[in-house]
Amino acid sequence: MSGRAYISRFTPGELDGPVEAALEWLDWESIVPSQGRVYIKPNFTYPHFKPGVTTSPAMIEALVKALKSRTDRITVVESDGGAHAWSADEAFEGHNLPDLVQRYGITTANLMNMPREDVTVEIDKKQVTVPLPSPLLHEADVFISMPVPKMHVMTGVSLGFKNQWGCIPDVKRLKYHHRFTPSILAINKALRPGLLLFDGTHFLDRSGPMDGDLVNANLIVASDSPGAGSLVCAQLMGIDPMSIAHLKEAIRVGMMPPNVDDVELNAELGQFQLSPFRLERTLLNYVALYAFHSRLSTWFLYNSRFAKPVHQLMNLVRKPSTEITPYW
């Protein structure tokens, strides 16, 4: 088997039991040492909680409460938003982290303020160098990722691998987009996520990562592997991983199982299947996608003196949608 994955439904407002059950099934105490140093990376792509876009405060609290039975050394981490859109500290505030700090004695840390280093990792016999915070590399006993399963106009989907992109301590992370696939695999290989808890309260369909159609699912997906967890979520969403560049490469280099039959599961996935997800890109999305794959265009749109007026124009014509679409 290439990793384990646990999936279950939960009743809104009653997360403690389902999260504990997921961790127990994964034998989490064999992954998290007693009084081990745990770093949790939620998905804060917005300065305040936005269903289907950011990890919910309720899911974070349920995880923290479960972990506290084994360790007090828990730190929730995040980087500032791209291009200084918001600070990690604002996102902590907007997701109720100060209250969790006070009640559970955990800490928060802005990855931008940590010492950093360039890490070189071999991906498919090629050396890939990425900047990462040193504490995540040398001090973490366990790195836990909390993605939100969603479509993504640049990368196709945002699942177990993509959430770690926010670990790059640089507000100009976009300058690495032209080599996204090898970089995101290198980041995951360097950080070695030991547990992943996907916040499937809502999935995000049609667009993403910031706007789209909310799919009310009330699902927990937990895994001990970013590849196994991503494959399970892709299956639930009706997404062929071979159609997503970084997932296809992850399969090719052995970082993701090619088939759900290779994943140890607690239950049959069919009972949790969602309606097929579909990615829709606007003309502006295609312009940005071209820049995503081009070093020169990335520089023009994000680092040149034209970047600010271009983004101001794009923001004027964007039409976000937040309609909730039940999956059943």
> Closest Cα to residue 32, out of 67, 2, 4, 5?
67
Q: What is the CATH number of the domain that holds 207?
A: 3.40.50.11440
Report the DSSP pairing between strands 142-146 and 324-326. Answer: unpaired
Q: How far is CA 190 from the centre of its chain?
A: 16
Beta-carbon contacts of 223 under 8 Å, excluding residues fewer than 6 positions away, are 3, 4, 5, 6, 26, 160, 195, 196, 198, 229, 232
Answer yes or no: is 292 within a domain: no
Answer yes or no: is 299 within a domain: no
Answer yes or no: is 318 within a domain: no
What domain count does the chain have? 1
Rounded distance, CA 215 to CA 237, Å?
Answer: 10
Answer yes or no: is 287 within a domain: no
Answer yes or no: is 129 within a domain: yes
Answer yes or no: is 176 within a domain: yes
Specify the pLDDT at position 162.
97
Beta-carbon contacts of 166 under 8 Å, excluding residues fewer than 6 positions away, are 41, 43, 44, 45, 78, 79, 111, 173
Specify the pLDDT at position 303.
64
Answer yes or no: is 39 within a domain: yes
Specify the pLDDT at position 174.
77
- Cα distance between the two ends of the chain: 31
Specify the pLDDT at position 326.
36
Domain of residue 210 covers: 4-280
Specify the pLDDT at position 324.
40
Answer yes or no: is 304 within a domain: no
Query: pTM of the full predicted structure?
Result: 0.90
Take residue 78 and report the two structure tokens written for it: 């995040």
Rounded distance, CA 6 to CA 328, Å?
Answer: 21
Specify the pLDDT at position 75.
98
Specify the pLDDT at position 316.
62
pLDDT tens across the length of the chain (328 residues)? 589 999 999 999 999 999 999 999 999 999 999 999 999 999 999 999 999 999 999 999 999 999 999 999 999 999 998 777 899 999 999 999 999 999 999 999 999 999 999 999 999 999 999 999 999 999 999 999 999 999 999 899 999 999 999 999 988 787 777 899 999 999 999 999 999 999 999 999 999 899 999 999 999 999 999 999 999 999 999 999 999 999 999 999 999 999 999 999 999 999 999 999 999 988 777 666 666 666 666 656 666 676 667 656 655 655 444 444 333 2
